[in-house]
Amino acid sequence: MALHKKKPAALGIDLATTQESSSHGSIQVSDDSQFVTLSLASGASAKVLLYGATVVSWKIQDRELLWLSSASALDGSKAVRGGIPLVFPVFGPPPAGTAVEKLAQHGFARTSKWNLLGRAEDEEGSVRVEFGLSSDSLDEETKAKWPYAFGLIYSVTLRENTLETKILVQNPGSEAFDFNVLFHTYLRIPDVSTIGVQGLNSLTYRDKTLGGSEHQESSEVIKITSQTDRVYKSAPDAITVSESDKPLYTVTKTGLNDVVLWNPYSDGVEKIGDWEPKEGYKNMVCVEAGSVASWQTLEPEATWEGGVVHKAHL
């Protein structure tokens, strides 16, 4: 893959004065410089919290398409429960004996304050913002737990009926490092009992509700009827969430190997303190594109890129 010379800045553009409008739409930073809101003339919008660079809202014509817990912290005190948290450099509890073993579950990207790097629009009517995070941005405690030089550029692009999230991982250092990356997308759905997930049939998956044992998927349409936590390996690029054979969402990934399917269901939410309302599991399903079944290795002076397009069928 070609090297990208662009690097996350130590300090982004002036948040206090960042407001831009055009015939396509607008990008606006909140008064407290904690959120960036993208909007289009069509009525589509997205809201990104700089803490974790977490997308916390995606709307089309005032219809919310992401699920967010009403008890989720949005003040930077802990990772957001819902939206699209970004997992890096480890997925799940860090395995013992690895370079990430001292990190918290799901790593530090979702609990770090990102810099706003820039904004753009194109002739097709999209608006985009870019965020940066680097090893220089981390506190000393986190650096001690994962001491590699790195740079991340994360972009969020809003179009009329799609939301694209993309990440570029850079290794400016002299030592290779391994990492996982995942877009932990909470899709809002009408009722979990009526939806099905298609595109994963015949794949091998690791079932985390069964101790991580491996199984082969045998269903053309996967129904969520109990606590579900599966890592599907080498998944196809496009996964569809449907209701009564009508597509609700298509999740299309690029440069990413795997798909995680997750719903905590009624028994699982009781163990999640910031999950509200408790019956909210009925209105969400996580279809998460990532590379998590095995490690990605990034050599010195190399880059890696992956992303996902979420398309809503309204």
Binding annotation for substrate? 81, 105, 110
Residue with tokens 């069509």: 42
Name the residue type at position 30.
Answer: S
CB neighbour list of residue 296: distance below 8 Å, 6 or more residues apart? 169, 178, 179, 180, 181, 304
- 78 class by beta-carbon count within 10 Å (0-12 exposed, 13-18 middle, 19+ buried): middle
Q: How many helices (H) and strands (E) does the chain have?
A: 2, 23
CB 163: neighbour CB atoms within 10 A?
25
Among candidate residues 121, 130, 164, 288, the one labeled active-site is: 288
Contact in structure between 269 and 278 (CB atoms under 8 Å)? yes
- Catalytic, 184? Answer yes
Confirm whether 175 is a catalytic residue: no
Rounded Cα distance, 260 and 267, in Å: 19
Instruction: Give CA–CA dist 65/44, Å, rounded.
Output: 11
Catalytic residue from among 24, 130, 164, 184: 184
Name the residues annotated as catalytic. Answer: 184, 288
